[in-house]
A = this chain, B = another copy of it.
Amino acid sequence: MPSRKTGGSSPKSRPRADRTRADLVLGIDLGATKVVSALIAPDGTIVRHSGRHVHANDGPGGVIRALVRSVGAVLEGAPAFRPHAVGVAVAAQVDPRTGTVVHAPNLGWRDVPLARRVSEELGGIPVVVLNDAHAATLAEWRFGAGRGASDLFCMFLGTGVGGSAVVGGELLEGGSHALGEVGHMTLVVGGRKCHCPNWGCLEAYVGGWAIADRAREAVRSDSVAGAMLVARAGSAAGITAQTVFQAYRAGDVLSGRLVRETERYLADGAVSVVNAFNPSLLILGGGIMAGMPEFVPVVEAAIRARCQPPAAMARVLLASFGENAPLVGSGVAARLRPSPGRSRS
């Protein structure tokens, strides 16, 4: 999955010579197929990074070995240097107080004490663990589109739809550290089945998988109108959200309809989020937004026109970070958080 590689794609990469080592923390982004480690400077720049592929089949032991190898590659050439703190962002439900991965569906993990195990592997360095959407929000808040804001909401639209809130200058955790799952707000009572146990979720309309599903259904019901989409994707089954966006830009009528429907659902979801969380700033990120940044003004217009008056003044911005957001945010967390490793030692 080379698209998840960091570094070259980062607008904030900078030669390592600029930095003093004592300033650096180690950030780690652990996804379902890849782990990336990086040395991160106090201003959020990625100084050096390295990735390894991981497989759920490897189990926690194998995945943690890959993680440690990626850390070793980042620290190579500086054998005496140890960063003073480590943050790990995981696509999972985590308990940041204990550093435990409570449930990582894509890795097949339950109750893995990741902070403790990584800390042990790294010679006792304090390790904090947090959810990747929360990490990405920390990155946007501290170094990206949300710099200086004290009330913001980040919505990430990728294959799935997630989010996270900063309110009154604090990143909110929630009762089981899962606050911000606005992709699973019901948007259409009795609507499309989501990948979660609910029906009609926002994600079931504007998540990458859902846009692709809707496009495939449209193509099947009208093969003439769907000809351009199928030609671009090779087959109906090969259609993705990005195929739809590209065909739309090439003038495809069916894709135009799908894009307009998507922006309507997204606008309604954003109105809900802004009314519920009353942020001063809504940040939209993820692959869907990267493919269709034109959604930003549409969402902002909907908020102005249809939110409650106190909420309707929220600005809307595109996220500053792309795929590096959780990695950069894991570094922010390493600096910010009380470390479970430290409290146990």
Q: Which of A's residues lie within 8 Å of B, judged by CB?
A: 93, 102-103, 150-151, 167-168, 170, 172-182, 184-189, 196-200, 264-265, 268-269, 271-273, 275-281, 305-311, 313-314
Query: How near does chain B come to A322, taking the closest CB pair, in angstroms?
Result: 25
Contact of A93 among B102, B172, B310 (CB under 8 A): B310
A-B contact list, 29 entries, CB within 8 Å: A151-B175, A167-B172, A167-B173, A168-B170, A173-B278, A174-B278, A174-B311, A175-B279, A175-B280, A175-B281, A175-B311, A176-B310, A178-B278, A178-B308, A178-B310, A179-B277, A184-B272, A184-B275, A185-B276, A186-B187, A186-B269, A188-B189, A189-B264, A189-B268, A196-B306, A197-B305, A198-B271, A272-B272, A276-B276
Contact of A182 among B168, B275, B281 (CB under 8 A): B275
Residues of B within 8 A of A307 (CB): 184, 197-198
Residues of B within 8 A of A196 (CB): 306, 308
Q: In the complex, what residue of chain B is closest to A167 when comparing beta carbons?
A: B172
Count of this chain's copies in the oligomeric assembly: 2
A268 close to B179 (CB less than 8 A):
no
Residues of B within 8 A of A314 (CB): 175
Query: How near does chain B come to A239, taking the closest CB pair, in angstroms?
Result: 23
C-alpha gap A200/B265 in the complex (Å): 12
C-alpha gap A102/B313 in the complex (Å): 14
Given contacts A93-B310, A168-B173, contact A200 B268 (CB under 8 A): yes
Given contacts A176-B311, A178-B311, A189-B264, 19 further A-B pairs with CB under 8 A are: A93-B310, A102-B310, A103-B310, A151-B174, A167-B172, A173-B278, A174-B277, A175-B311, A176-B280, A176-B313, A178-B308, A180-B278, A181-B276, A184-B271, A184-B275, A185-B272, A188-B189, A198-B307, A200-B268
Residues of B within 8 A of A305 (CB): 197
Contact of A184 among B168, B175, B308 (CB under 8 A): B308
Residues of B within 8 A of A187 (CB): 186-187, 189
A167 close to B188 (CB less than 8 A):
no
Query: How near does chain B come to A167, taking the closest CB pair, in angstroms?
Result: 5
A309 close to B175 (CB less than 8 A):
no
C-alpha gap A94/B173 in the complex (Å): 26
Query: How near does chain B come to A308, taking the closest CB pair, in angstroms?
Result: 5
Residues of B within 8 A of A150 (CB): 175
A265 close to B310 (CB less than 8 A):
no
C-alpha gap A188/B250 in the complex (Å): 32
C-alpha gap A282/B199 in the complex (Å): 21
Q: In the complex, what residue of chain B is closest to A177 when comparing beta carbons?
A: B310
Contact of A167 among B103, B179, B269, B313 (CB under 8 A): B179
Residues of B within 8 A of A184 (CB): 271-272, 275, 307-308
Residues of B within 8 A of A179 (CB): 167, 276-278
